[in-house]
A and B are shown apart, each in its own frame.
Chain A
């Protein structure tokens, strides 16, 4: 619809399109808004609210695990009947907590909150477009996500509790209400919420892809795209291919639950009754789930890596090392992401030969990941590094990504996975490489683009304090967790008192829990900084980080259509930092080579001839498409 609006604007107001929208009502401006910047903020705020809920849940179950003797009666006003009269957490609710923590963090925070925020915000601004290809679909995308959020949130208040079969909701546990209280209404709402969430992701993803392909400004060829945009594009493609598979697996599960089909059920005797279902396979669900579930890891991680590439290059004052290798490794990771899913299933009874194949494929994915790690390090080398909070979080991401990724090489080895599968070793691994690393990407993005989003600066010192406390806290939580995993502690255990082999590490678990609480408390620095700075932060300058990308050429608070007048044309890649001979240590993308003869390389001087052609193009301005 924004395209249509743009069309009208061009008709009636020719050059004064920005006045056209002043008549918008509150609802159009802030609620059912089609402007990508507002939608991005909606995603971000919703994501932050979900993160608070999701992380609070983890703190509650960490108290249960690390301080099992503590009296939780003080939580009674919030959790009510889930806390027993003796002040103990209900074991069923413990499972609900770990399930909802996983679901919320993976889908609502790190998928919607990260990719939804920054794909929406940065794609039009960095490729030089007025808005997304379809503002209306974009708005729908957010509101479907909102609907999914409402349903999931409502499920938290059910008498029987929310879904509780683990975030992977393996049937038959999730299919049989008689197997667990959380598999009743809670699971129904989980499935409904997830169906709407997938619709939201698909609407968003189609939009991102279309926008990147069709609406790049003059001169913005694919080899001049910032790596952020590359990562968003690849992420959207991953999502578009894999989310429908999750939808189908969810639909089949709904059929099994409500319409008596037997896709996942066979040979079940439960509660004194033999069920009539035969011929189904619980393993089928796992294949379908992980066909999404594994790419999902990269859907979460790739945007964070893209953001990091941009932030590290900007604040090292250096071009990103190996721009093409970075793109190639992202494409490699994306491709391999689709053919490694069964490494989550080595010990499910799957054919061992299949296990060997997936082990080979899984370990190949370490190679492009390693290339990315080395390229980040080389970008830091001989840089002139400014420790903005965004930069600190990006450097932290590289450390977490590598530290967590290395243990993936252990887990991807099917022989070693036999012992480590479903232990805390796995929990430690994926929290570092995918949870914390992606969260750091989110933080880096927020700190870096906050000035563009709200026209104000976040407090740098508080940001730095937030970084150090979070970074140290994350390592204090997850390094010891590896030891617990090596000792064989299984995950999703309500308590460790039932077995002799888990009758140890009491103090280690306490340490992890206390570190988790510290890290949780440190996040309030961020929350305060974020919300305070929106209203009271220092006014942002035009280009606070002296960055090359196009969004910093737009007005400090961009209006509808992002640029007043013409959209800038692009003449160079986005990484001309510290170019030898240049006056400044950065040359924005919209500066033609003809203006920088002092720093041009010979092959760039040849490109001066093409500038006239680029300048005369004007295909992609959505406000000028009526002819």
Chain B
């Protein structure tokens, strides 16, 4: 790479030198040019430069693309991701044609039709047929691209299948928090941002019985392979954006407006480790909407497990209530019995005691809502 930089620097310096030496010639001849003819200093040189750039540009773009290709993301690990990738490279392929044609014509014409003494340009102000042709051809190509894109887009953004694994991901400054529907009922409980505190980071509403077995994880997210995963996305403070590069997933996290994205991951982390030959490979979740100082490091690990491993992992997780039994106080009296199931036995008794003292508070907060 240093060699290339040195080469580029050299080209720059040589160019500057050539131009300055030409400049000397021009300065000398200034007094001579008194004719009516337009001044055409450096015309040959500039015309030739267009051809040099045309050839040099074609070579460098081809070479740099081939060089850069190995660093692109590996094949998408989700079904829709491979579809959008195919579409992307298909569109890029089509667009390369006008890219080459137009740049070739611009540079070639610039060189070919450079000023010649005594020559006169062709007066050619319009040709309706030609204009019609190059209005219609782009329109048709556009229609084709739009249609394929629109089909993909509608499928990707369609309602998630019923059997989708629902996982909530919440963005905050500066990390992600995953919340799962639970070890038993697999349903996410309600939430309310006013219930957020240092422990209850996503504002789980414990007056909803679905929330009793919910568990959260602030550092990694596990998902099952081979079936739809529906991410329910929200933000706690400012805008964030869930970006899973290997899955080709991106969706903003908006405070006050839950968003969602579903996809089917079909390569486990282990598969990818084998495929990439990198035993340390990990899927990552990043943030792509500027959110403050830590925006560049809002990382969460994503682990794609096979179904059995995933089930096992879920069943081993500690529910929110078991980690923080004191929150039992926020559970309404009539549901206490149900909630007790998720509180470790030894913690249940002191928690029940404290519930008496803080019951008033909990009641007040729920009546506030």
A349 within 8 Å of B (CB atoms): yes
Q: Quick check: B146 and A267 within 8 Å, CB to CB?
A: no
CB-CB contacts of A415-441 with B at 8 A, as 1s and 0s?
110111111000000000000000000
How many residues in B have their beta carbons less than 8 Å from beta carbons of A?
127
Which residues of the other chain, B, contact A318 by a CB distance below 8 angstroms?
121-124
User: Given known contacts A419-B248, A546-B38, is B124 in contact with A413 (CB within 8 Å)?
Assistant: no
Which residues of the other chain, A, contact B270 by a CB distance below 8 angstroms?
none
B99 within 8 Å of A (CB atoms): yes
Q: Quick check: A363 and B46 within 8 Å, CB to CB?
A: no
Which residues of the other chain, A, contact B130 by a CB distance below 8 angstroms?
378
Smallest beta-carbon distance A384→chain B, Å: 4
CB-CB contacts of B79-90 with A at 8 A, as 1s and 0s?
001011101100
Q: Quick check: B256 and A281 within 8 Å, CB to CB?
A: yes
Considering the complex, give the chain B residue whose CB is closest to the CB of A407. Answer: B95
B20 within 8 Å of A (CB atoms): yes
Q: Quick check: B154 and A352 within 8 Å, CB to CB?
A: yes
Instruction: List A248-286 residues whose CB lies under 8 Å from chain B.
Output: 265-270, 272, 274, 278-283
B68 within 8 Å of A (CB atoms): yes
The answer, among A269, A279, A317, A472, for a CB contact under 8 Å with B203, is: A269
Docked complex Cα distance between A348 and B134 (Å): 35
Which residues of the other chain, A, contact B107 by a CB distance below 8 angstroms?
399
Q: Quick check: A577 and B71 within 8 Å, CB to CB?
A: no
The answer, among B53, B138, B238, B249, for a CB contact under 8 Å with A418, is: B249
User: Given known contacts A418-B248, A585-B121, is B131 in contact with A366 (CB within 8 Å)?
Assistant: no
B257 within 8 Å of A (CB atoms): yes
The answer, among B8, B91, B134, B196, for a CB contact under 8 Å with A416, is: B91
User: Given known contacts A366-B138, A419-B250, is B42 in contact with A278 (CB within 8 Å)?
Assistant: no
Instruction: List B249-269 residues whose CB lies under 8 Å from chain A.
Output: 249-252, 254-260
User: Given known contacts A349-B251, A371-B131, is B126 in contact with A322 (CB within 8 Å)?
Assistant: yes
Q: Quick check: A363 and B113 within 8 Å, CB to CB?
A: no
Docked complex Cα distance between A121 and B3 (Å): 46
B308 within 8 Å of A (CB atoms): no
A338 within 8 Å of B (CB atoms): no
A518 within 8 Å of B (CB atoms): yes
Instruction: List B289-309 residues whose CB lies under 8 Å from chain A.
Output: 289-297, 299
Smallest beta-carbon distance A426→chain B, Å: 10
The answer, among A278, A279, A490, A514, for a CB contact under 8 Å with B286, is: A490
User: Given known contacts A269-B193, A269-B237, A316-B113, is B122 in contact with A413 (CB within 8 Å)?
Assistant: no
The answer, among B5, B19, B43, B105, for a CB contact under 8 Å with A377, is: B105
Which residues of the other chain, B, contact A575 by a CB distance below 8 angstroms?
125
The answer, among A171, A325, A373, A496, for a CB contact under 8 Å with B126, is: A325
Which residues of the other chain, B, contact A352 by a CB distance below 8 angstroms?
153-154, 157
B313 within 8 Å of A (CB atoms): no
Docked complex Cα distance between A570 and B196 (Å): 73
Which residues of the other chain, A, contact B287 by a CB distance below 8 angstroms?
490
The answer, among A179, A267, A324, A373, for a CB contact under 8 Å with B102, is: A373
Smallest beta-carbon distance B144→chain A, Å: 10
Which residues of the other chain, A, contact B280 by a CB distance below 8 angstroms?
500
Q: Quick check: A95 and B295 within 8 Å, CB to CB?
A: yes
Smallest beta-carbon distance B90→chain A, Å: 10
Considering the complex, give the chain A residue whose CB is closest to the CB of B42. Answer: A464
A88 within 8 Å of B (CB atoms): no
Q: Quick check: B12 and A518 within 8 Å, CB to CB?
A: yes
Q: Quick check: A387 and B46 within 8 Å, CB to CB?
A: yes
B335 within 8 Å of A (CB atoms): no
Smallest beta-carbon distance A327→chain B, Å: 12
Docked complex Cα distance between A476 and B45 (Å): 21
CB-CB contacts of B133-148 with A at 8 A, as 1s and 0s?
0110011001001100
B317 within 8 Å of A (CB atoms): no
Q: Which of B20, B47, B68, B139 neighbours the largest number of chain A CB atoms within 10 Å of its CB?
A: B68
Q: Quick check: A465 and B20 within 8 Å, CB to CB?
A: yes
Which residues of the other chain, A, contact B103 by a CB distance below 8 angstroms?
399, 402-403
Docked complex Cα distance between A358 and B179 (Å): 33
Q: Quick check: B150 and A356 within 8 Å, CB to CB?
A: yes
Q: Quick check: B157 and A319 within 8 Å, CB to CB?
A: no
Which residues of the other chain, B, contact A387 by a CB distance below 8 angstroms?
40, 42-43, 46-47, 110, 114-115
Contacts A385-B47, A403-B99 known; list 8 others, CB within 8 Å: A91-B294, A270-B173, A282-B254, A349-B254, A376-B106, A382-B121, A387-B43, A406-B95
Taking Cβ atoms with an 8 Å cutoff, the residues of A that contact B are: 91-92, 95, 165-166, 170-173, 176, 179-180, 265-270, 272, 274, 278-283, 316-325, 347-349, 352, 355-356, 359-360, 363-364, 366-367, 370-371, 373-378, 380-388, 392, 395, 398-399, 402-403, 406-407, 409-410, 413-416, 418-423, 459-462, 464-465, 468-469, 471-472, 475-476, 479-480, 483, 486-488, 490-496, 498-501, 504-505, 507-508, 510-511, 514-515, 518, 522, 538, 544-546, 575, 577-580, 585
Taking Cβ atoms with an 8 Å cutoff, the residues of B that contact A are: 1, 4-5, 8-9, 11-12, 15-16, 19-20, 22-23, 26, 30, 38-43, 45-47, 49-50, 53, 57, 60-61, 64-65, 68, 71-73, 81, 83-85, 87-88, 91-92, 95, 98-99, 102-103, 105-107, 109-110, 113-116, 119-127, 130-131, 134-135, 138-139, 142, 145-146, 149-150, 152-154, 156-157, 173, 193-194, 196, 198, 203, 233, 236-239, 241, 243, 245-246, 248-252, 254-260, 280-282, 284, 286-297, 299
The 3 A-B residue pairs with the shortest CB-CB distance in the complex, in nearest-first order: A266-B256, A349-B259, A352-B157
